[in-house]
Amino acid sequence: MILPYLYMAEVEGKGRAMFSRRDIAANLVIEIAPVIVMPYHERLLLDKTALHNYIFEWGYKKDMCCMALGYIPIYNHSYSSNCEYEMDYDKDIITVKSVRGIPKGEEITINYNGVWNDTKKIWFDVIE
């Protein structure tokens, strides 16, 4: 399930991003996407490809990974995202829901840490 008024557009410096042609109410499910679940040893292979940036840790023990279908891989990261996602390990789906109202035309974002307002630095922001 994907809201029919979502669309993808290019954002300078970020690449592809997701937007809406309509206002989105708070606490609205905007997408429910199936995932392809893979064992950890396959993640080691995926980490050597462009898919590295698009896979999620998966499972109650985080001992697997998954590739989400739908628009899930296109939502960009924000430490104060306007959406959150929930992983259902039993049904092999990810649900994206707004955490506040989102005006039409505003980029739809998720926090890659899993909690919409988690400020822990993620892998591409960590300075070594």
| Helix, strand, coil in percent for the chain, rounding step 5 | 10, 40, 50
pLDDT band at 114 (very low <50, low <70, confident <90, very high): confident
- What tens digit of pLDDT does each residue of 17-33 get? 999 999 999 999 999 99
> What number is the average pLDDT over the span 81-93?
97
* Average pLDDT over every residue of 37-59: 91
Single out the residue of 96, 20, 41, 34 nearest to residue 68, CA to CA: 34
pLDDT score of 124: 66
**Residue 16 pLDDT > 80, yes or no?**
yes
Helices (H), 27-95: 40-46
Domain coordinates in residue numbering, the chain:
6-110
Mean pLDDT of 1-6: 94
Segment of 48-52, 75-79, 96-100 carrying the highest mean pLDDT: 96-100
- Residue of 83, 89, 91 whose CA lies nearest to 18: 83
> Residue for token digits 């997408």?
31
Amino acid at 25: A
**6-110 is classed in which CATH architecture?**
Beta Complex (2.170)
- In terms of pLDDT, which residue wins out, 123 or 78? 78
The yes-or-no verdict on residue 127 having pLDDT over 60 is: no
